Amino acid sequence: TVARLRPFASTIFAEMTALAATHDAVNLGQGFPDTDGPARMLEVAREAIASGLNQYPPGPGMPVLREAIARDRAGRYGTEYDPDSEILVTVGATEALSAAMLGLVESGDEVLLVEPYYDSYAAAVALAGAQRRTVPLVVDGDRFALDVDALRSAVGPRTRMIVVNSPHNPTGTVFTASELAAIAEVACEHDLLVLTDEVYERLLFDDAVHTPIATLPGMAERTITVSSAAKTFNATGWKTGWACGPAPLIAAVKAAKQFMTFVGGAPFQPAVAHALDHESAWVDALRTGLQAKRDTLSAALAHAGLDVKRSEGTYFVCADIAPLGESDADSFCRALPERIGVVAVPVDAFVDHREGWDTLVRFAFCKQDHVLADAASRLARLSA
Ligand code: PMP
Ligand code: GLN
């Protein structure tokens, strides 16, 4: 393995999912749902295969999907993207993120990541030959807040891009209007690009509101917005995502993307287009269901003696294991499958600086109720 990729030899999700299999444990580690997406969406994909949509789709993605993405973002946020030049279909959000860095960041440039960060960001920065610099979230009661002063002081002469992720994996934080405004102000002041990962944009709880940072003043021209069908439509295995932004930025993302995968799977594209156009009620029900699951799992974790943080969106809730007398989330999580038959992910897998994060554990609740009930009874053994 080349030096720049050596730190990224395996992912925490692959490691933990392997542990789940070994110990026949309930897998609350990797975030993927255990039920299918909307029935009609699945049918459209089957029909696409049956009707011969089995060859390369166009490089930027099938027009039917690019048009549906444009309608979706215009309808929900009022943002206008030209389907021909400002939208690119990618192999999941992951490819969009990596291609954006490869296409827009020079080697030696710096990219700011909010810490903890989703694991692919650091690897993508490394692939681009760039350097990452982290800006921490800070605990504010039972919520994680952006450290705006740290963001300001992290910007240097080589800073090229800020990566934003809200709703945030792993903490479940949804950035407030003032946090987003602070990021936008810094980006405009220093003429930075913003790469925003909005894959959990519709998985919001209570009164949380998602505002795409591209809608803030001065941001449309410098923002690449990334999302995906994975989380919105329970289709993580379809690997169908997209990037939206101004034509010159999308052209740069496409320049990289075309030599990574060229195109993504054709039959999924009309199916996702259908879902974006017609499955809002299904997504609303998903959201309501996930909120109840969040409550179930949060209660089980609190019952087991953990200090549970507030999840405002995503699939995830974080909890502190310090009240159990534990001091190291990494070894706690590695032992947990054998100890009680539950898999979870240590939040320090998503940080460069462990301090303050070393007793925090992320649990995924995107699982059927009987699975969560099983997990709850296993977790109860922690305090027994
Ligand atoms: N970003 C975040 C924050 C995620 O949690 C995930 C996956 N769970 C992705 C990107 C990747 O999305 P995709 O599967 O569409 O590549
Ligand atoms: N995004 C999912 C998570 O955070 C996992 C995706 C993966 O396995 N790379 O759990």
pLDDT tens across 142-172, in order? Answer: 899 999 999 999 999 999 999 999 999 999 9
Ligand 2 atom closest to residue 120's alpha carbon, by position in its atom list? 9
The helix-helix angle for 247-260 and 92-104 (nearest 10°) equals: 110
**CA separation (Å) from 28 to 54, 88, 375?**
35, 32, 8
Residue 183 and residue 147: Cα distance in Å, rounded?
A: 10
Strands 193-197 and 223-228: parallel
- Can you list the residues of the chain whose pLDDT is less than 70? none
Of 247, 278, 309, the position where a domain reaches its end is 278
Question: What ipTM is given for this predicted complex?
Answer: 0.97
Domain encompassing residue 209? 40-278
Phi, psi of 279 (to 5 degrees): -115, 30
pLDDT tens per residue, range 9-47: 888 888 898 999 999 999 999 999 999 999 999 999 999
| pTM to 2 decimal places | 0.97
**What's the structural domain count of the chain?**
2
Ligand 1 atom closest to residue 229's alpha carbon, by position in its atom list? 15
Of 242, 258, 278, the position where a domain reaches its end is 278
Same domain, 133 and 272: yes
Q: What pLDDT, on the 0 to 100 scale, is given for residue 328? A: 97
Same domain, 113 and 244: yes
Same domain, 138 and 22: no
Which mutation among 32, 95, 316 tests ligand 2's pocket best, with the greatest number of atoms within 8 A of CB?
32
**Pocket lined around ligand 1, Cβ cut-off 6 Å:** 31, 92-94, 118, 165, 169, 197, 199, 228, 230, 236, 239, 241
Same domain, 15 and 74: no
Of 230, 249, 278, the position where a domain reaches its end is 278
